[in-house]
A = this chain, B = another copy of it.
């Protein structure tokens, strides 16, 4: 997102750089500083001055790269997202459990959890930020989940009437509610419980969902 107004592509395909080039370490230093500030004080007390101070950089240097504070934050958050990591298990229930568990860990063990509430607020009034956050952070994750669910429908593991988007909301919802609304500590079982709900309703194999299905499906998180 560090806007590349510097480089102008030339007819020969090379980059024409005029003037003093940007220092190669500054971007990284700013992102690192931003993350450290976010971890320390959360979004609402996150100030650009403090980021500049910790990065050993002038404030205008920040604004040369990111026009808004919120954009810098989104960029910093994006670096915290887990990589693709080719999905390991080959059945839908384990895949969903894997994803839900990973989201739960991201929310509890990375700055994302600490920052999310403030970001959510800003999204409500800053459409650009909302779009950036959703397309860079939320959507990539949801797309993975969506593909897993659709695959499950195709293979017959899930019922054909499965409401894909609702399933995604149902898996992520309980995790977000705790973090954002009730403030209760994250329940390590929550991902598994959520997957249970989804399977109980949408799994094609009728046995699932009653009694104690934990053993009938899988033991725990795959990661």
A: which residues have CB within 8 A of B? 41-45, 114, 117-125, 130, 134, 138, 142, 161, 163, 165-166, 169-170, 172-178, 180-184, 187, 189-190, 193-194, 196-198, 200-201, 206, 209-210, 212
Contacts and interface: CB of A to CB of B under 8 A. Distances in A.
A174 B183 contact: no
Contact of A43 (B43, B117, B124, B142): B124
Total copies of the chain: 2
Contacts of A201: 196-197, 200-201, 209
Contacts of A189: 163, 166
A124 B166 contact: no
Contacts of A142: 182
24 contacts: A43-B121, A44-B121, A44-B124, A44-B125, A45-B125, A117-B120, A118-B121, A118-B125, A120-B181, A130-B183, A166-B174, A169-B174, A170-B173, A170-B194, A173-B173, A173-B175, A173-B177, A176-B176, A180-B180, A197-B200, A200-B200, A200-B201, A200-B209, A201-B201
Closest A-B pairs by Cβ, 3 of them: A173-B173, A121-B121, A200-B201
Given A43-B124, A117-B123, A169-B173, 5 more contacts: A42-B125, A43-B121, A138-B181, A165-B187, A176-B176
Contact of A180 (B176, B206, B210): B176
Nearest to A119: B121
B120 A180 contact: yes
A190 B169 contact: yes
Given A200-B201, A206-B210, A183 B123 contact: yes
Contacts of A123: 117, 183
A117 B127 CA distance: 13
A125 B215 CA distance: 41
